[in-house]
Amino acid sequence: MPATRRHISPHYQRYLNAKSTVFQGLCVVFAAIVLAVFAFVAFYLFSQGIHHIGLAFFTEMPIPPGMAGAPGGMANALLGTLILIALAGVVGIPLGMLAGIYLAEYSSNSWLGAPVRFISDVLAGVPSIVVGILGYELLVVPMGHYNGYAGAAALAFIMIPIVARTTEEMLRLVPHSYREASIALGASKTRTILKVVIPAATGSLVTGVMLAIARIAGETAPLLFTALGSRLLTLNPANPFPSLTVQVFNYATGPYKDEQDLAWAGMLILIAIVFVLNLTVRFTTSRMQRERRGRAR
Amino acid sequence: MSSESSQPISPEPNSPPSGEGIRRSLRTKRRFNVDAVLAGFTRLGALCIIGMLVALLAVLTIAAWPSITQYKARFLTSSQWRANSREVSVRDAAGHIVFDSDGEMTTKTVPPEFGAWPVIYGTTVSSILALLFAVPLSFGTALFLVRLCPRIIAGTVSFLIEFLAAIPSIAYGMWALFVLAPLLQHYVEPGLRHALSWMPWINRWLFVETQTVVGRTVSQEIPLTGNDMFCGGLVLAIMILPIITAISRDVLKGVPREQLEGTSALGATWWQSSREMLRYSRSGLFGAVMLGLARAAGETMAVTMVCGNNTQVRFSLFAPTQTMSSLLANEFAEANSDIHRAALAEVALILLVMSLLFNIIARWLVVDSSAHAAAH
Amino acid sequence: MKLFSVLKMAVVAMALPATTAMAADRLQGAGATFPQPYYQRLVAEYQKLTGATIDYQGIGSGGGQKGIAEKTVHFAGSDAPMDRKVIAKCGGAENLVEVPSCAGGIVAIYNLPGIKQALRFTGPVLAEIYMGKIRRWNDQKLVELNPGVELPDQAITAVWRTDGSGTNFVWTNYLCTQIAEFKSSIGAGLKVQWPVGLGGKGNPGVTHTVQQTVGGIGYVEQTYADQNHLAYGLVQNKEGNFVKATPKSVSLAGAGAVDQMHGQMIPANIWHQAGKDTYPIASFTYLIVYKDLNNLPDKEAAQTLVNFLWWATHDGQKLAAKLDYAPLAPAVQKKVEEALKTITYKGEALKIGE
């Protein structure tokens, strides 16, 4: 190469430089386009949402169009989403974490590790509507009616592989010397994992869980055939169960202007939840990275 | 993306021989039991993940079975998706309508017919369209983030992109329904027609449609509604931009510094060394594209809201379409005949297998390339 | 299939240790979106009156019928009479009660900015639009029907339902009576395959899509058009008059229906009826329950449900007119009463209409 380069004519070199500048510019333009599109989307969602949100959103139930006080609020949907997330978490987080611990701590000598790791990666990419159909066949048809449990189970299904893989990765970040030290001091493997490895990784495990929650909080498709939705305040998940996303979908695709406005407000709340979760994750991870770097020094 | 194969960390380390000896001596019977319990539980969690995939495949296959046995391979190629049975008049060999003795037309009932070709087509074309829009933008942005952008800004932009990947799809759908589709209907699509329709083949492809309606061939202008393949592709592109950008950024970051410094030292221009970088990490980038494709193919809500929901194969990008996932969202809850539901389950099965394939390819490529990068 | 049920049972056993029954104090209905504004209003008012919590989800008539067959709902709403196959799944017609709750007109809404007066349509013209034979608003046939109206040179976008829909059922059955070609090429049903146009989910989805699409035409229950200020056309009836849908012109269509009603399943098709001022695309909408309410958690819930059904078909009728539905005629109401009185809970009689 050096030999050939010396013979490049100044013209050709100038052409190459110009071409390089053009492509450099193109990259900047592309990045600018991407950011501009997203700024537009984000701004629009935010301004519409903030414009239509009010106290009634949090305190009132939906009121049918044409009645006094319509369209009311989304208190039932908000509560419904929180309950669904909690239920999904109760099932999904422990199962996902167990699988993650297995992958990080036990799998190296087993044939099971590689396929489980691979399948959880693949499961994380399964279209969520397909998971909804699974929930319908397994939990709605046998129970005889649409219900919140089926919705929560579908969400847990989506959650488990995500929690498993983040748990594994977070545990792997715990320096190996910790484990060796613990074992050298006579602790059993169980004790090492429970008292040394997991506490060392608690912060990052929580962030993993938060990412998974952020993911399921916005899911609509798996709830369409499972929890179905409801206009009532519902606490018993054996009933058809309201959720923010399904209600937003129904309102947004409907013709009533005031319900569409309410949908924007609901959307903003959803995005705010996701944003706060992501922001927390970012701060905790960057703090942990700093600490780790400090330790390494 | 894990790179476990190349990391020295592993739970059972090749620790000094003395450590192995100590551990063995510490492993008394009692502790062994406790260890076994936790090991058993975690193993159960791991098996649960395998069980989930098996359950998914098994349940869908069983639910789809009536349709699989009835339609066989024809299901993939037939473009009829009709849930009602139809009365048609019987025609004889010469094409004349047959009348019975009372002078009434004799009719026969055509049973419902389900074929997945229109939705397979819709999913494929809208996903490819999304990639066409998203891939150049993503790669450009990734290069910008890795090579041009000041580090301080890069951190913020990276966070924004990760956040955008986490925004619920229904938010993009709502934005598309209220902003993008009207914009396309009133400005972009008429503008494109104005600009492009003088070219006959483009006109024939995009703006005019020749259809055989009830035995008569008519050539008609396609109404530009903004609820079409084009809009579906655009909103999908916007949704997969963050994920492709984020992964390709990581992949590009993984290119060893010597590789770059080498080319620069040889006097390569910025673009030449960038191209070297792209070429070096091509399998990882391809993996990123596959992941984007998997997401686009499985995406439901946003597409349902803007694709027009017409279950037909139409070649124009400005004609309404239907994807596999939007068909499921529209029809699954109210399919009241068994065969209809089975046909929908079969569509879900096809969608699942398709996305599994994309994901498997993508994981192989991305994991492979990061291992490859780490090895250098 | 065996594997499937074992799988199902295993999952159910694992996932549901606690309550699986729906709460007794709550009734669940689902189905047609055609009467959804009316039913949602009904349940809200009924809750104010008695405290009973009832939920109605508009998921389409097909979904409602399926819900009854699979017992996923306590009561269903449907604009189409129960499908024969679905009735068989429920164990036969003698197991069910199907009564009309009100009647409504399906109107042809359109989005043509600048057109002030109501357009006139005939059945065959509507059929040809939905068959893709009439493709532009200034088509000769439309122009002839609407003298003096400046119809634009604009493509027609036919908007229809994507879900299993009783509105679809009535609309397609009506169009089948208009042109033989429609019957053989598209046919009638809860869900058909349309050759042209855009799909919207439910009456709300169709309304929204027409609102957004210049040149769009769609068919929805009249309430949706009125509540959202959409223009809709007059339709030529059997006698040749162009009639606007109103609760009055719709109830005229339902007047003759009483002769079709016998027993406890009393659907009656009322499209394309005779009468000078009768609106031609009218439909009853039905409430469907099991005749023996053993799918409800207890007798109290069953009693609440029949009380609600009784109230909806009597005092609740006042709300129907308010929302532009046609209330039931007294003669029809009589038939409904007879049908409702056959309802029992696990063989025990319920207090009905007292």
The whole-number pLDDT of residue A8 equals: 73
The whole-number pLDDT of residue A202 equals: 86
When scoring A109, A116, A130 by the number of chain B Cβ atoms within 10 A, the one with the most, hence best to mutate, is A130
Which is nearest to A101 in space by CA: A113, A87, A92?
A113
The whole-number pLDDT of residue B221 equals: 83
Q: For chain C, where are the E strands, in sequence order?
A: 26-31, 53-58, 75-78, 96-110, 120-121, 157-161, 198-200, 216-221, 231-232, 234-236, 242-243, 282-290, 344-345, 348-349
Enumerate long-range contacts of B360-364, CB under 8 Å, 24 or more apart.
Answer: B360/A118, B360/A122, B361/B287, B361/B290, B362/A125, B362/B287, B362/B288, B362/B290, B362/B291, B362/B293, B362/B294, B363/A118, B363/A121, B363/A122, B363/B287, B364/B287
- In percent, how much of chain C has pLDDT > 70? 93
Residue A71: asked if its preceding bond is cis (omega within 30°), the reply is yes
**What mean pLDDT is reported for chain B?**
84
Highest mean pLDDT among A289-293, C26-30, C313-317: C313-317
pLDDT tops 50 at residue C314? yes
pLDDT tens digit string along B181-207?
999 999 999 999 999 989 888 888 888
- Higher-pLDDT residue of B215 and C344 is C344
- Give the pair of three-digit tokens for residue C27: 């009734």
Residues of chain B with C-beta less than 8 angstroms from the C-beta of C131: 213-214
- How far away is chain B from the Cα of A248, in angstroms, using its nearest Cα? 8
C60 reaches B (C-beta below 8 A): yes
The whole-number pLDDT of residue B1 equals: 40
Q: Is the separation of the CB atoms in A66 and A131 below 8 Å?
A: no
Average pLDDT on B11-22 reads 49
Beta bridge partners of C218: C109
- Give the pair of three-digit tokens for residue B146: 């890795």
Report the DSSP pairing between strands C231-232 and C96-110. Answer: antiparallel
pTM of the model: 0.87
Instruction: Mean pLDDT check: name the lowest of B200-204, C163-167, C271-275, C317-321.
Output: C163-167
The whole-number pLDDT of residue A36 equals: 92
pLDDT tops 70 at residue B362? yes
- A78 Cβ contact partners less than 8 Å away, ≥ 6 residues apart: A58, A244, A269
- How far away is chain B from the Cα of C142, in angstroms, using its nearest Cα? 17
Environment class of residue C337 by beta-carbon count within 10 Å: exposed (0-12), middle (13-18) or buried (19+)? middle
Asked whether the beta carbons of residue C227 and residue A65 sit closer than 8 angstroms, the reply is yes
- B109 Cβ contact partners less than 8 Å away, ≥ 6 residues apart: B85, B86, B87
Residues of chain A with C-beta less than 8 angstroms from the C-beta of B175: 41, 44-45
User: Residues A158, B235, A75, CA angle at the centre, nearest 5°?
Assistant: 55
The whole-number pLDDT of residue B57 equals: 96
Q: How far is CA C346 from the centre of its chain?
A: 29
- In percent, how much of chain A has pLDDT > 70? 96
The whole-number pLDDT of residue A12 equals: 87
Distance (Å, whole) CA A253 – CA A268: 17
pLDDT band at B25 (very low <50, low <70, confident <90, very high): low
Q: Tell me which residue has tokens 């929930």.
A: A135
Environment class of residue A287 by beta-carbon count within 10 Å: exposed (0-12), middle (13-18) or buried (19+)? exposed
Q: Is the separation of the CB atoms in A100 and A171 below 8 Å?
A: yes
Residues of chain B with C-beta less than 8 angstroms from the C-beta of C86: 336
Q: Is the separation of the CB atoms in A151 and A144 below 8 Å?
A: no
Measured N-to-C along each axis, helices B29-71 and C2-15 cross at an angle, to the nearest 10 degrees, of: 130
Distance (Å, whole) CA B106 – CA B100: 6
Rounded-to-10 torsion of CA C29, C31, C33, C34 = -100
Distance (Å, whole) CA A271 – CA A244: 11
pLDDT tops 50 at residue B376? no
Distance (Å, whole) CA C254 – CA C273: 8
Instruction: Sort residue C210 into left (φ over 0), alpha (ψ -120 to 50) or beta.
Output: alpha
Q: In 3-state terms, what secondary structure has residue C99? A: strand
Distance (Å, whole) CA C162 – CA C59: 11
What single-letter amino acid sits at A77? Answer: A
The whole-number pLDDT of residue B336 equals: 73
Which is nearest to B140 in space by CA: B287, B284, B294, B278?
B278
Q: In 3-state terms, what secondary structure has residue C102? A: strand
Please report the residues numbered 68 through 87 in chain A whose beta carbons come closer than 8 angstroms to any beta carbon of chain B. none
The whole-number pLDDT of residue C7 equals: 45
pLDDT tens digit string along B114-152?
999 999 999 999 999 999 999 999 999 999 999 888 888
Asked whether the beta carbons of residue B223 and residue C215 sit closer than 8 angstroms, the reply is yes
> In this predicted complex, what is the ipTM?
0.90
Q: How far is CA A14 from the centre of its chain?
A: 48
Chains near C (3 or more Cβ pairs under 8 Å): A, B
pLDDT band at B264 (very low <50, low <70, confident <90, very high): confident
pLDDT tens digit string along C227-256?
899 999 999 999 999 999 998 999 888 887
Distance (Å, whole) CA C257 – CA C250: 12
Average pLDDT on B21-49 reads 74
Among partner residues B87, B214, B336, which is closest to C62 by beta-carbon distance?
A: B336
Between the CA of residue A153 and those of A86, B312, C145, C207, C242, what are the distances in Å?
Answer: 11, 34, 56, 34, 54
Distance (Å, whole) CA C111 – CA B182: 14
- Higher-pLDDT residue of A7 and B274 is B274
Q: Which residue positions in chain A have pLDDT lower than 50?
A: 1-3
The whole-number pLDDT of residue A137 equals: 93
- Give the pair of three-digit tokens for residue C135: 């493709």
Distance (Å, whole) CA A99 – CA B50: 10
Q: Is the separation of the CB atoms in C342 and C264 below 8 Å?
A: yes
Within a 10 A sphere around the Cβ of A124, how many other Cβ atoms? 18
Asked whether the beta carbons of residue B300 and residue A221 sit closer than 8 angstroms, the reply is yes
Q: Is the separation of the CB atoms in C265 and C338 below 8 Å?
A: no
When scoring B65, B78, B84 by the number of chain C Cβ atoms within 10 A, the one with the most, hence best to mutate, is B84
The whole-number pLDDT of residue A3 equals: 45
- How far away is chain C from the Cα of B75, in angstroms, using its nearest Cα? 16
- In percent, how much of chain B has pLDDT > 70? 84
Residue A187 C-beta-side C-alpha neighbours within 13 Å: 16
- Give the pair of three-digit tokens for residue C328: 């039931």
Distance (Å, whole) CA C276 – CA A110: 83
Cα-Cα end-to-end distance for chain B: 17
C350 reaches B (C-beta below 8 A): no
**What mean pLDDT is reported for chain C?**
87
- How far away is chain C from the Cα of A253, in angstroms, using its nearest Cα? 6
C295 reaches A (C-beta below 8 A): yes
Please report the residues numbered 3 through 32 in chain A whose beta carbons come closer than 8 angstroms to any beta carbon of chain B. 5, 16-17, 19-24, 26-31
Q: How far is CA B61 from the centre of its chain?
A: 21
Distance (Å, whole) CA A77 – CA A242: 5
Average pLDDT on B51-56 reads 96
Q: Is the separation of the CB atoms in A254 and C205 below 8 Å?
A: yes
Q: Is the separation of the CB atoms in C345 and C292 below 8 Å?
A: yes
pLDDT tops 70 at residue C105? yes
- How far away is chain A from the Cα of B221, in angstroms, using its nearest Cα? 27
Nearest CA in chain C to A228: C57
pLDDT band at C84 (very low <50, low <70, confident <90, very high): confident
Q: Is the separation of the CB atoms in C44 and C311 below 8 Å?
A: no
pLDDT tens digit string along B80-112?
898 888 777 777 776 666 777 766 667 788 888
Distance (Å, whole) CA C246 – CA B257: 77
